[in-house]
Each structure stands twice: as structure tokens, then as C-alpha cells.
Amino acid sequence: MQADYVIVGAGSAGCAMAYRLSEAGHSVLVIEYGGTDIGPFIQMPAALSYPMNMSRYDWGFMSAPEPHLGNRRLVVPRGKVIGGSSSINGMVYVRGHASDFDTWAQMGATGWSYADVLPYYLRLENWHSKSGGDPTWRGNDGPLHVSRGPRKNPLYHAFVEAGRQAGYQTTDDYNGEQQEGFGPFEQTVWKGRRWSAANAYLRPALKRENCNLIHGLVQRVVIKDGRAVGVAVERGGKVEMIRANKEVILAASSINSPKLLMLSGIGPAEHLAEHGIDVVADRSGVGQNLQDHLEVYFQMAASQPITLFRYWTLFWKGVLGAQWLLSKTGLGASNNFESCGFIRSRAGVEYPDIQFHFLPMAVRYDGKAAAEGHGFQAHVGPMRSPSRGVVTLASSDPKTAPNIQFNYMSTEQDWVDFRRAVRLTREIFQQEAFKPFVKHEILPGDAAISDDDIDTFIREHAESAYHPCGTCRMGNAADPGAVVDPECRVIGVEGLRVADSSIFPQITNGNLNAPSIMVGEKAADHILGKMLPQDTRAPWIHPDWQTEQR
């Protein structure tokens, strides 16, 4: 069992690399612990709350008790299935703001500015829009189909209009020139099916003779004389060595990639010694710099029975499921996140730091509907929390889940930013556009006015948006806290790279699937030694950002 490139993890980045490296003629072997993604729970977009709550498809990680959230333990879903988390996520497609990537470059990830990454977004996308947007900012022949929902429910339009009435910009394509504002949301859905990295990249790659997939639990990277030569994999009760003739590439998630590095002797020396692991490379940054987006569901009771709650019965779920199975159409063919907003929390913030996901129903990610029946909600939270967490080994046994401590809301700035996000959301729901539809506020509730009231609401109700990243930070090779250099090579070990959301120096603005796929695309070109030329177009920045909030 050997290949030029051994990729650990068939997720968003891993599938993209398998496609590009095999396209270039190299032999590629992808190792995935999880099983098949075939089945309606994954492929039907509206069923998104099922796979992320099923042990068959999810690693089932939990955070440690979070001290600033009342010691609650939060779920940390990560895809344990072909396609990785792109097979269990909400299918929301957000590139991130241009300034995110310019910040990466400033933090030491040279060659990852917006001008550097924009060509890779253009290459990966196959963009479908009949509702506006400038196609010159979008790709139209890439593997990843990106579409928009039909936005038939009037509440989708009320949300965008309320944003406009509150004085914010509107944007017809937040993934194009202008992210800031309110407008239609985009989703990785094509012809009514979830368009995961498995559908976009892995299935076409596996049709080539030089790309193969095997199932097994990777225990560690095998390193000889300072060079990665393969991986140890448990399959069918036996451990075997799979050789990499050129390189081993970890694309196992921001939770499992640092875990595998540490199990392989790459990480903070003291921590490795605690678990009896011989140190190959003392890299203090492995597992550090953990970031995520935290959000609350701001829920409103509806005065008219026009929300998706009317379909929240076994009968209607059966009808919509049958319609989807037969024709891939209807409400089952969308993730139902079809309007969104990106705003700046205050004057002096250069680019958006608050994101809204709007949903015409009051329901949680775990599928629990609000007790009040008809309602709607915005998921809202700050995009750039200063809090940082850590992933550490709980044991040297590869089968043991690592310790995950996000350290959410650990700075005063977190609370200031989050209170502001809650109050700005309330203001949007109070606009004229919502007058025909609003009955009253469910959560946090009309009585939650003071800082203390809002803090209590956040402490009790904030949930992860499931965007963990940053645990194998990319940076300058001389930076002691960096884990990989700007070509995704692990610093201090030859023949080993990491390419997934764990290498993000700072979390991007919005959902992480798109930038994770972009990392896979760009990492493949670093491996192949050929880069796309820069695209130096300037994105839109609010002209009065220093003095105006909107």
C-alpha cells in the first residue's frame, strides 16, 4: 500500500487535493475513517440537522466545560464520513472577507493575501445565479456548484428590507465585490442535492486509476530521520504501514490534525512527554490558537402562519421527503438559509464583524422547534472574537478523543461585542418591514434590556456555529508559534504538510467550508510547484468606515 501522496481525511480540503494531485498525474491515496455519504439524510439539503446529530456521521466531540458559559459543554460536530464536515454542515457558502486574507498575509502567511486566494475561489466555483451579482467576480466552471435558494417566503425579503430600513447597505453578492450588507444567501446545493466536497471533487477523482480511497483509523505519521515516510493505519483490527513516496498530507480537521501531529511526536515537548511520546519536533503552537464563531438564535414569534413551522409534522416531513426523493425539488431541496447580512458593529471597524443567518422558522440546530409554534430567527454573533482555546491530548491512545477547550467569552471585549450584536439584531426586527409579521420577541425576550440581562441570555443560550479552526497555525518558518509555513509544510519535519481549517492564522468572516476548500485547492498548487497569478482587484470597503457604523 503506497502512493506518491497519502492524504489523511476525505473532507473539504482533502477531497480538493485528491482531485488536483491526481489530475496532475500523481498517485494519491485518501484515508478516511468514516463510511459512505450515500443516503437521504446527507444528500437532502433540508435534512441538515440529522447528519450532524448522528454518531454514524459525526465524531461526537464535546468541548470541556466552558467556564464563561456557565460550565456548559458544547457539542463540536465534525464529519466522520466521506466528504467530512462538508457532508454534515449547513451548506452555507461564504468565501470570507477580502481583508481576512490580507490579515493572514500580515500575520506571516505570505502569499495568502486576497489577491493570492481570489484566483483559487474563481477556479473552484461553478456559480449559478439568476438573482443578481457580478459574474466577473465569480467562477463558472469549477467543481463546486454554488447556488441560491428560491426565496419564496416573504420573510426572506422582509429581512433584507429591514436591514435597508435600518440604514445598512444591501448587496446582491456578498461573495463578490461587496460583502457588507443584506442580501441573498448562497449554498453548496446543485439540482436539489447537497454538493459536498465528496460530490464535487472525490467522486470524479476516484474515477481516475491513480486515485484510491481506503477506510481506516490513522494512528500516527511514521517519521524516519526527520522525514515523514507514511502513516500507521488500523484496518480490520490490524495496524499496517502505508507508504508515501513523496509526502504525507494531514487534512483531518482542526481537531484531528493537531491530535495526529502530537501522536506523531510533533507538538509542545512538555505536553508530549506527559503522554510518553518521543519528541520529533518541538512545536509549541500545535493545538493552540483554537478559534470558533459563537452565536445566539434571536427568535421572534410570528403573527401570521407563514413560517416553515407548518411543515414541522411527521405528515408534512413525509410529504416533503417524498417530493425530494422523487424530483429533488420543494422545500427539501434547500438548506432554507436564503437571506443573510454582514455588518460592522461600530464606526472604526473596517470590515464586517457580525454575521446574520436568517431562517423563516424558530428552531435549533439539534432540530428542536420553539415551543411557541410559528416564528422566525436570525443566528447572530461576532466574527472575530479575541478569545483563544486549545486542543490537547487526553491520552496517547489514537482512539481517545482529544480535550477541546474553546475558552469562549474569556475577554471583556467578547461581552462588549456580543451585547452590541444582540441590540443591533433587535433593532432590525423592529423595522417597518417586519411589522406585518412580528407578534413578539421569544428570545432573548422583550424584558432582556440591561447588560446583565443580555449577558445572562448569552451565557445560557450561546451555541457554537461549528467553525473551529486555527490549531496548526500557518506563519513564517521562524515564528516559534507557527506550525506550518506558507506552503503548508510542517516546520521541522520533511515530507509532511497540513492543509485544512487548522492552518488558518485567524478565523474568517462567515462559514468555513469555502475557505477550507480553497486551502485544499491552493495547497495542491504549492505541492505541484505552480501558482495561479494574482488577481489584484480591490474589494468594496465602506468609504466612511472610520466615522460611520452603517
Contacts of 484 (CB under 8 A, 6+ apart): 472, 473, 474, 475, 490, 491, 497, 498, 503
Predicted confidence at residue 282, as pLDDT, reads: 98
Predicted confidence at residue 8, as pLDDT, reads: 99
Predicted confidence at residue 131, as pLDDT, reads: 72
pTM here is 0.98
Strands (E), 149-226: 181-184, 186-187, 189-190, 193-194, 211-215, 217-224
Q: Is 490 annotated as a binding residue?
A: no
Among candidates 495, 502, 515, 531, which has minimal Cα distance to 231? 495
Among candidates 148, 209, 85, which has minimal Cα distance to 520? 85
Query: Is 271 annotated as catalytic?
Result: no
Phi, psi (5° rounding) for residue 386? Answer: -75, -10
Q: Same domain for 274 and 208? A: yes
Among candidates 101, 72, 321, which has minimal Cα distance to 192? 321
Q: Is 142 annotated as a binding residue?
A: no
What is d(CA 261, CA 258) in angstroms, rounded to the nearest whole number?
Answer: 5
Q: Same domain for 351 and 434? A: yes
Residue 264 carries which side chain, given as an amino acid letter? Answer: S
Predicted confidence at residue 372, as pLDDT, reads: 83
Q: Same domain for 257 and 121? A: yes
Indicate the residue among 464, 498, 526 that finishes a domain: 464
Predicted confidence at residue 130, as pLDDT, reads: 77
Residue 126 lies in a domain: yes
Q: Same domain for 174 and 277? A: no
What is d(CA 359, CA 361) in angstroms, rounded to the nearest whole number?
Answer: 5
Based on the structure, what is the number of domains in the chain?
2
Predicted confidence at residue 132, as pLDDT, reads: 82
Q: Same domain for 75 and 64? A: no
Q: What do you get for the CA distance between the two ends of the chain, in Å? A: 58
Looking at residue 216, which CATH number applies to its domain? Answer: 3.50.50.60
Residue 61 lies in a domain: yes
Among candidates 509, 535, 518, 461, which has minimal Cα distance to 103? 509
Residue 35 bridge partners (DSSP):
81
387-406 CB burial, b ≥16 within 10 A, e <16: bebbbbbeeeebeebbbbbb
What is d(CA 60, CA 47) in angstroms, rounded to the nearest whole number?
Answer: 18
Indicate the residue among 423, 440, 464 that finishes a domain: 464
Q: Same domain for 114 and 85? A: yes
Catalytic residue among 26, 357, 374, 467: 467
Looking at residue 416, which CATH number applies to its domain? Answer: 3.30.560.10
CA atoms within 13 Å, Cβ hemisphere of 93: 30
Q: Is 81 annotated as a binding residue?
A: yes
Residue 543 lies in a domain: no
Q: Same domain for 65 and 149? A: yes
Q: Same domain for 180 and 191? A: no
Q: Same domain for 316 and 196? A: no
What is d(CA 288, CA 486) in angstroms, rounded to the nearest whole number?
Answer: 18
Indicate the residue among 414, 436, 464 that finishes a domain: 464
What is d(CA 289, CA 414) in angstroms, rounded to the nearest whole number?
Answer: 16
Contact 62, 52 (CB under 8 A): no
Q: Reduced to 3 states, what is the DSSP secondary structure of residue 117?
A: helix
Residue 548 lies in a domain: no
Q: Is 218 annotated as a binding residue?
A: yes
Predicted confidence at residue 539, as pLDDT, reads: 97
Q: Same domain for 298 and 353? A: yes
Residues of the chain with pLDDT under 50: none
Predicted confidence at residue 479, as pLDDT, reads: 97
What is d(CA 253, CA 238) in angstroms, rounded to the nearest whole number?
Answer: 24
What is d(CA 387, CA 349) in angstroms, rounded to the nearest whole number?
Answer: 18
Q: Same domain for 52 and 163? A: yes
- Taking each helix axis from N to C terminus, what angle separates 513-528 and 12-23, rounded to the nearest 10 degrees? 30
Residue 542 lies in a domain: no
Among candidates 149, 148, 145, 140, which has minimal Cα distance to 196? 145
Predicted confidence at residue 369, as pLDDT, reads: 74
Q: Is 319 annotated as a binding residue?
A: no
Residue 453 lies in a domain: yes
Strands (E), 283-435: 294-302, 339-343, 354-359, 375-382, 390-392, 403-405
Q: Is 117 annotated as a binding residue?
A: no
Write out 225-285 in H/E/C secondary structure: CCEEEEEEEEECCEEEEEEEEEEEEECCHHHHHHHHHHHCCEECHHHHHHCCCCCCEECCC
Q: Same domain for 126 and 158? A: no
Q: What is the pLDDT of residues 376-420, one digit of tens each?
A: 999 999 999 999 999 999 999 999 999 999 999 999 999 999 999
Print the domain residue range for 31.
1-40+70-139+187-286+469-535
Residue 544 lies in a domain: no
Q: Reduced to 3 states, what is the DSSP secondary structure of residue 467?
A: coil
What is d(CA 64, CA 164) in angstroms, rounded to the nearest whole number?
Answer: 40
Residue 488 carries which side chain, given as an amino acid letter? Answer: C
Residue 254 lies in a domain: yes
